[in-house]
Structure 1
Amino acid sequence: MKKSNLILLIALGIIIIISITGIFVLKSNLFATITFGEGNIVQSERDIPSFEKIKINGRYNVYFTQDSPRELIIFTEENLHEFIRTDVRNNELYISSSQPIRSNSEIRIELSNDFLTHVEVSASGKFFTTRAIALPLLHLTANAGSTMDVEGIFESLFALQNAGATLKLRGETDKLNLESNAGGSLDASQMRATSATARANAGASIIVNAAELDAEANAGGSVRYLGDPVFKSMRTSAGGSINKQSR
């Protein structure tokens, strides 16, 4: 074998060894930074100042009740509580973790407040209302594989769904504004609206139930409607579709 070929083989071998070692070190460091739950489920109640907005980032299941007094109770494994952050800044409650954690069961957060204007959920978080809420205005945003299930009576309701999230709405509203993007599902079939706007993009789907409807579907998006609404506008492009929903 030529000396030059031997040198190349040796160099290639060194590169492979370094790469494999780097992968193992990286994986070890990743797992070293994750705190795993140890199985002993306990609850803790936290005092929080007033808020009107909620932002959830991470695998937290938040159950919201419209009620007084204001309460926040966490149910999870004992060794994980210290890493769960519940901070209020600029009238917004942030629920997140100070470092990566993994629970063997649901990380459940029971939350009570008498008023709410915005909820945003990301990173596989979940938000549920425990019973119907009543608000003049509510903005909902579901991102990145998250789930929201909201029941209530509203004057105006805005719902935005992105990146494979799932959003379900139930109840009644005068005005309803829906937007679904990037393969997600937005089910408002049980949210009766006087007037609604629905826009589905990039393979996303919307089901809407309104007396008056402005609908738009683009890039493989789908808007399906219940009943026989009066259409203010109907627009499709690039494989989008707008059709009546069969019951």
Structure 2
Amino acid sequence: MKTKKQWFIFLLTLFIAGISGNANASTEKENRKTSDFNSIHVSTGIDLFLTMGSDEKVTIVADDEIIDDIITEVKNGVLKIYQKNRMFRWNFNKERKAYVTVKTLEKLHASSGSDVISENTITGDELEVRVSSGSDIKIEVEVNSLDLKSSSGSDARIAGKAKYFKADASSGSDIKAQDLKTKNCEVEVSSGSDASVNVSGELIARASSGGDINYYGNPESKDTHESSGGDIRGR
């Protein structure tokens, strides 16, 4: 019994020390130099604020205790933003934000609880978006083709315009794209996921395993299929 009590006191001391460290931490801002990139992958709970502009720029804002642990590196044209792991490092309520300006963007990936917000409209030809592992994105786009996959409890909220939109939601994730005006759309949901799309031309929709699809607009043609409790409805 005495040993258990000693362990409890030890763990409680570590917990209090972690909270105290957070309370005393100050926020720092660093401009990071990188090579050219056209894609971004953000992870490990870092929040990304994305802007289209004429010059590339990467700025990290984080608590001074962890800012050196946040990595910004470019590999094969992909800007990777993540926090490296350290044993026994307490990170409760620590601020971790990345402000990135891009000239062109072809791929945007968010994973491991990171959030992405676009601060202006993302423009371009083709854009691939992947959201997984509890991450959330809220972006506005104006592209010819948008390919979006959301999985593992992630949420994606998309607005703007796209001539072609391919959407795939699985494993309890949501895609809210009723404010994205599309000409042609191909959407598939499964495993309790939901998707809302806005289509004026051709709609191809597949819903299975308790997935729901709501479509807005007045599609010129529809090819829909429901299975295993899936549901597709016009709004």
Number of matched pairs = 223
- Distance in 1, matches of 2:108 and 2:122, equals 13
CA pair 103-88 structure 1, distance change in 2 beyond 3 A: farther
CA contact (8 A) 2:142 2:160 kept: yes
Q: Which runs of 4+ in 1 moved over 4 A?
A: 34-38
Match of 2:52 in 1: 66
RMSD after superposition: 2.3
Letter in 2 for 1:174: K
Partner deviation per Cα, 1:171-209 (whole Å, 9 max, x = no partner): 001000000001111000000000000101010000000
1:228 paired with 2:233, answer no
Q: Residue 176 of structure 2 contacts residue 195 of structure 2 at CA under 8 Å; is this kept in 1? A: yes
Q: Which structure would you say has the larger Rg? A: 1
Q: Unaligned 5+ residue runs, structure 2?
A: none
Alignment of 1:104-183 (within 5 A): 104-183=93-172
Aligned mates of 2:91, 2:62 — CA distance in 1: 10
How many percent of aligned residue pairs carry the same amino acid?
21
Aligned to 2:68, the other structure's residue is in SS state helix
Counterpart-to-counterpart distance in 1, 2:95 and 2:160 = 27
TM-score (norm 1): 0.83
- 1:105 Cα offset (Å): 4.5
Contact 2:59 2:99 in 1 (8 A): yes
- Counterpart of 2:76 in structure 1 is 90
Per-residue CA deviations over 1:101-142 (Å, capped at 9, x if unaligned) read 615353121101101111111111011110112110100010
SS in 1 for 2:104: coil
Match of 1:201 in 2: 190
Please tell me the residue identity of whatever aligns with 1:201. Answer: S
Q: 185, 189, 206: which one pairs with 2:174? A: 185
Structure 2 SS opposite 1:79: coil
In structure 1, stretches of 5+ residues that fail to align are 1-16
Residues 236, 242 of structure 1: 8 Å contact kept: yes
Q: How does 1:214-225 map to 2 (within 5 A)?
A: 214-225=204-215
Equivalents in 2 of 1:39, 1:231: separation in Å? 57
The answer (yes or no) to whether the contact 2:137–2:155 under 8 Å persists in 1 is yes
